[in-house]
Amino acid sequence: MDKQQNQLGSLIAAGVSIGMGAAGFFDGIVFHQILQWHHMLTNVLPTDSISDVEANTRWDGLFHAGMYVLTAVGIGFLWRASSNSNVPLSLKVFGGSLLIGAGSFNVVEGLINHQILGIHHVKPGPNQLAWDMGFLVVGALVAAIGWILLRSGQREVIVRD
């Protein structure tokens, strides 16, 4: 059983890393660019001037660059897993790992950026705490669903072998 779990490690790492990157891209594309609710440093540099908008956009770009790195690392793990005939490729394991990565990213990003550092909120304004808490709850639910799916996939892989 431990051998099968170890063999799944690169597939799980791939899913978590790609899931984190995807969640970051979703956050940046939807909240920063389409809805324009916030940028990375909206609470630090309000978008009252062109230079502040440019600075926020630069930080958004650095954020996206980090998401590219996470995604590229995940693709590397996925390549490694798919190249190893000993790694059982399970859609449930990979999909669950994606959801764990996405949900965990949102929880960590929400706690650090929204609550601890306060550099931005999901939707600034009178109900910003409710939006921030909703973001954390959705992230936790996505991660929990991912965990259930991952465990189910791991059990199926063990039964198959």
Q: What CA–CA distances, in Å, run from 14 to 36, 39, 63, 66?
A: 30, 28, 20, 16
CA angle, residues 45, 50, 54, in degrees to nearest 5: 65
Would you place residue 157 in the very low, low, confident or very high pLDDT band (cuts 50, 70, 90)? confident
Range of the domain at 63: 2-160
- Tell me what pLDDT residue 85 has: 84
Q: How many domains does the chain have?
A: 1
Distance of CA 156 to the CA centre of its chain: 25
Alpha-carbon dihedral sign for residues 40, 44, 47, 49 = negative
Share in percent of the chain as helix, strand, coil (round to 5): 80, 0, 20
List, for residues 65-98, the tens digit of each pLDDT value: 999 999 999 999 999 999 988 888 899 999 999 9
CB 105 within 8 A of CB 24: yes
CB 152 within 8 A of CB 96: yes
Burial of 66 (0-12, 13-18, 19+ CB in 10 A): middle
List, for residues 92-130, the tens digit of each pLDDT value: 999 999 999 999 999 999 999 999 999 999 999 999 999
CB 16 within 8 A of CB 97: yes
What is the value of pTM for the model shown? Answer: 0.91
